[in-house]
Structure 1
Amino acid sequence: MRFGNILLLACLVFSCSDKVAEKKATAPKPNIILIMSDDQGWGDLSISGNTNLSTPHIDALAQNGVSFQNFYVQPVCSPTRAELLTGRYAAHIGVYSTSEGGERFSLEESTIAQIFKNAGYKTAAYGKWHSGMQPPYHPNARGFDDYYGFASGHWGNYFSPMLEHNGAIVKGDGFLVDDLTNKGIDFIAKNQDQPFFLYLPYNTPHSPMQVPDEFWNRFENKALKMKYQGTEGENENFTKAALAMVENIDYNVGRLTQKLKELGLEENTILIYLSDNGPNDWRWNGRMRGKKGSTDEGGVRTPFFMQWKNNIPKGKTVDQIAGTIDILPTLASLANIDMPIEKQIDGRDLKPLILKDSSNWNPRPIINYWQGKTSIRTQKYRLDYANRLYDMDVDPGQVNDLSTSKPVVHDSLVVLKNNWLSELGKYHDNEEPRPFTLGHPDFTYTQIPARDGVPHGHIKRSNKYPNNTFFTNWTSEKDSITWDIEVLADGEFEVELYYTCPEESLDSRLELGFGESRLSSKITKAHNPPLTGMENDREPRMESYVKDFIPMDLGRIKLKKGRAALTLKALDIKGKVAPDVRLLLFRRII
């Protein structure tokens, strides 16, 4: 070939490459909508084969996109959320509990919201956060431009409850999932002309089992044809409530997808649906063993559907195992976004499984871990926390232990588990309890709830599950409430106390102290509402009931940077009791 022809060919090649690069650079970035339900089992959808309910809108996401048949999360809420947000196993990044600070993941981690925000996306989260309430753990500090919902692990009322909007206390508007969806639809409409990342962590079907009449009426007297197969015993009323709540979610997913169609955004929006763990009670779940809290199959397998009209295959199913840790790298890859992450993430990019023939996919295990129990899922087998081995292709109920008949497989997975646990130790060596943060200089509000406090003396928590509790039975001046606090920067703050108080306790005086700083204030307004929540419960709850707490201005306090106990005392109690205490709200003035 003559040199001139070679040169011409080279020019054509480079010209084509430039055009491809230019097209890639100018192609619109896909919007992302990430929906996660709370305590919904794999089996709580009609597409899973459950004839007890109908979920056509959620099912359509699988029918119009890709469905992962073996997708794994963690056994409870907060670790799954941490993995979704970071692409790293929750056990590697500091999550060890679902309340009292243990739900927070390390500040060294980059989040999916930060990565997409840095790439030019508008970001919002509406719903249950459950990864830390105070900045820098708050969603606004972790990449979300707008946040509306509750940052705790569960809530006490789903009908126009007390919520927060970017740290400020607000009142919800109607049934919570409907309200969150309204916020999401408004966000989509407002940002339709620019790329957006919308995270909708719904709060249902987590208890309390509350749902509007329209959905409950379909189930109240309905005979359930598909029931739990085990011996533990199914509470059918609880099941009906959970399924009614899922049908409400389905209704709201339909509202979201309809809005995308109306705005012409379907072809440029990736929409994902999954749950955060297994079902919150015994009910039909594909005959799998385990429920929420368990590292068995039923506790950690969830639906995972991805729709992106005309960009990913329609109706495709993927059998390869995958997990929450894979969501971040997959979405970043699909959106052509770089991930400038200092630490190696645990997840993998699932794009080859979504877009291509998956025959060349290199298999890997998925680790499920919670409170010392570790289970390993490979493509074919599960080694459970007690080192029993099951063939998941034929034994989803984990009935037949193959440890003896498959010694090579069994022993190799035991070695893998022990190595993983040994490596896990380095993440927890020399760990100390982390304080709750207050007064981040970049944020106006800090909530310090009863959930994070410690009662002393006669004071009691309203329920053993801390997330939505308040302190009560404050009967002595010797009683107090303390919080382990680190003030992040010097400042002056206005402080509000959310409380209730009977008439007889008016003029009781409270003192709030931190280090050498003090402020005190009298209670001048009686407010003694009854406990509520039970009137909306379809099934009696195990968590705390709630009250209508109102704010009281405690005054201003100057706080110095540093760590100490934040202490609320009663200098003088009138009547028999001091106030019931729900939370303190600090607003930075200086």
Structure 2
Amino acid sequence: MKLSKSLLFLCICTFMACKSEEKEQDRPNILIILSDDQGWGDLSFTGNPNLKTPNIDRLGVEGVSFDRFYVSPVCSPTRAEMLTGRYHLRGGVSGTSAGQERLDLDEVTFAEVLKKSGYVTGAFGKWHNGMQHPYHPNARGFDEFYGFCSGHWGDYFSPPLEHNGKPVQGDGFLANDLTAKAMQFIEENQAHPFLVYLPLNTPHSPMQVPDRWYDSFAKKELDSLVQNEDQEFTKAALAMCENIDWNVGRIMDKLKSLDLEENTIVIYFSDNGPNSFRWNGGMKGRKGSTDEGGVRSPLFIQWKRTIPGGEVVEEISSAIDLFPTLMELLGIEHNSEKPFDGKSLKPLIFNEASKWEDRIIYRHWNNRTSLRTQNFLLDHEGALFDMGKDPFQQNPIQDQMKELTAELTASKASWEREMAEEMDKSSKIRSFTLGAPGAKYTQMPARDGEAHGQIQRSNRFPNDSFFTNWVSLEDSITWDVEVLESGKYQVDLYYTCPKIDIGATFRLQLGENYLDGKVDIAHDPPLKGMENDRVERMESYVKDFKPISLGEINLESGEATLSMKALEIPGNQVMDLRLIVFTKTN
């Protein structure tokens, strides 16, 4: 039987499309789960007798476990190092708020590389490397973003979040919600190779967790207590870790139900040491410290039927290694003018490293630097420890090993000089960007602003704070901004104001352009958060802020000061202010 030319052409096209889809589906997916402030010891896998984390443990049992994996002492530096394969100071990340968490724009993320290689990419959770485009995750390689860009959040139960820059309301307990959105993304993109980055917000404070996970800890007697431990804080943290484990189980079940488990590389780790003194294998230091306990994290990599299960890698490794490791596992060529500080761990994963040279991994925070070789740790004060014989850093040996100490001290000093030069290349004072090309929304939160006069922050930790005590015509709030694209922008601000104080008028101004507004609708919700906190928090309590539209404003490209000042205050105050959102209208 002869086929017509048109039918033959259709058959060929269908065959080629099927082959193309088959080839596309054969490329492994990537799932990266990053917990926030979960220490090395917050797992039953590492020996903690106080909790059970079977789903996370299974990743180590059925995949490969890295026994000496190192991250930074705090959140945003670790994220920058994972994204770029380079030390965080090279990328201009020197802090966790006030713009210091932003990753330099000339740095390339592995998400950008994967996106260019045909992957669909999504991030769901805490970003913490810049909010405004082009620092926003949608501009750093992620097609989809749902979560928050700040360093910490003030409410974990249906809080205000964003979806691709647009303010939205969360749905239920935050870690559960983020995981559900990631699962939905996987289901919608199962026919294509995907990257899912799931940076959960727990067990970072405030210590909020549903009863389902907390109740089993509420009256539990903890084993292996450590000095200065706050048992109630520990119980909340461990309950949050068991909730993380439940969510890991959910997303792994989703992969299995979609027949994607064997074609997905799953990576699990944490961003720093534990956020309190609690069981951590006896190591010295916690979050914020460059000692072993502040920077050692679990790392599990699972790729079923490809990576041998149950292997334990003893060689030291770091977050800077994940980018080059992914590139080699996927067979993707990545040539950059900015070389990796990390190295591919593939030879260790597949036990192919006949010779693995010793290396130095540097850890830095708050003007303190430590370094780690395979056997030794030089701390920020110059003390040397043999970590094989003295894993708890109890017996310094610099006086017995003077030659090695001098060598490592010189290496540390050289690295610090190099990092200082790298930081000098980055502009130390960077304006907050507004209206980047391709970005519809720009958020200017109170976190990034500066209060003048009697205006105060709701808390000294700025990330989830708002401005309050705006009581004088001399008061003002400013943001140093750079408008990247001229045009018309709709302006909405999020406020609260009691009925007794309505009627205040104010001016929002940028350059020669301004909008005047009036607070004419009362909105006075109570502070909240304390009702769900298991222990008293350090961070700001929050409120449900209401949007008010100011209309459209014309903005000209260039650097300027965005300011808000009161024109008239008939009551005691103008308003409490949390956020301004600019939306492009042309």
- Fold match (TM-score > 0.5): yes
Q: Is the 8 A contact 2:478 2:561 kept in 1?
A: yes
Please say if 1:505 is aligned against 2:505.
Answer: no
What per-residue deviation string (whole Å, max 9, x for no partner) do you get for residues 146-198 of structure 1? 00000000000000000000000000000000000100110111111110000
TM superposition score normalised by structure 2: 0.95
Equivalent in the alignment of 1:87: 85
Cα displacement (A) at 1:269: 0.2
Q: Which residue of 1 aligns with 2:9?
A: none
1:441 aligns with 2:424: no
Question: Aligned match of 1:408 in 383, 389, 403?
Answer: 403
In structure 1, the residue matched to 2:420 is: 425
Q: Is the 8 A contact 1:92 1:424 kept in 2?
A: yes
Verify: 1:549 aligned to 2:530, yes or no. Answer: no
**Which residue identity does 2:330 align to in structure 1?**
A
CA displacement at 1:341 relative to structure 2: 2.1
Following TM superposition, by how much is the alpha carbon of 1:25 offset from its aligned partner in structure 2, in angstroms?
7.8
How many residue pairs get matched?
A: 565
| Residue number among 250, 268, 276 corresponding to 2:271 in the alignment | 276
Which position in structure 2 is the counterpart of 1:63? 61
Q: In the alignment, which of 190, 198, 210 is matched to residue 188 of structure 2?
A: 190
- Measure how far apart 1:588 and its partner are: 0.6
Aligned pair partner of 1:528 in 524, 527, 542 = 524
* Aligned match for 1:452, one of 436, 445, 448: 448
- Structure 2: how far apart are the matches of 1:118 and 1:342? 17
Residue in 1 aligned with 2:126? 128
After TM superposition, list the pairs within 5 Å mapping 1:226-375 onto structure 2.
226-228=224-226, 230=227, 233-375=228-370
Tell me how far apart the structure 2 counterparts of residues 218 and 207 of structure 1 sit (CA, whole Å).
Answer: 20
CA distance in 2, matches of 1:432, 1:290: 30
Unaligned runs of 5+ in 2: 1-19
**Equivalent residue number for residue 49 of structure 2:** 51
**1:529 Cα offset (Å):** 0.6
The one of 217, 220, 226 equivalent to 2:218 is 220
Give, as a single letter, the amino acid of the residue that structure 2 aligns with 1:129: W
Tell me the residue number matched to 1:146. 144
2: CA distance between counterparts of 1:26 and 1:42? 36
CA distance in 2, matches of 1:496, 1:423: 44
> Residue 218 of structure 1 aligns to a residue in which SS?
helix
- Equivalents in 2 of 1:97, 1:305: separation in Å? 27
Would you say the 8 A contact 1:87–1:326 is kept in 2?
Answer: yes
- Quick one: which of 104, 107, 125 aligns to 1:106? 104
8 Å Cα contact 2:486-2:554 kept in structure 1 = yes
The residue identity in structure 2 corresponding to 1:283 is R
Look up the match of 1:15. Answer: none
TM-score, structure 1 as length reference: 0.94
d(CA) in 1 for partners of 2:550, 2:464: 22
Note the alpha carbon deviations across 1:457-500, whole angstroms, 9 max, x for none.
Answer: 11000000000000000001110000010100111100001000
Measure how far apart 1:26 and its partner are: 7.5
Tell me how far 1:56 sits from its aligned partner.
0.1
- What does the per-residue CA deviation read over 1:430-459, in whole Å, with 9 as the maximum and x for residues that have no partner? 643001000012110000000000000110
Residue 428 of structure 1, CA deviation: 2.5
Distance (whole Å) between structure 2 residues aligned to residue 338 and residue 516 of structure 1: 49
For residue 34 of structure 2, what is the amino acid of its counterpart? M
Does the 8 Å CA contact 2:71/2:78 hold for their aligned counterparts? yes
1: distance between equivalents of 2:253 and 2:525? 41
Letter paired with 1:387: G
Shift of 1:27: 8.1
Aligned-partner Cα distance in 2 for 1:423–1:40: 31
Rounded to whole Å, the distance in 2 between the matches of 1:359 and 1:283 is 38
Equivalent residue number for residue 73 of structure 2: 75
Task: Tell whether the 8 Å contact from 1:57 to 1:251 is kept in structure 2 after alignment.
Answer: yes
- In 1, Cα distance between equivalents of 2:423 and 2:246: 43
Among all aligned residue pairs of Structure 1 and Structure 2, give the percentage whose two residues are the same amino acid: 56
Partner SS, residue 321 of structure 1: strand
- 8 Å CA contact retained: 2:64, 2:301: yes
Contact 2:25 2:191 in 1 (8 A): no
Deviation at 1:394, TM superposition (A): 2.2
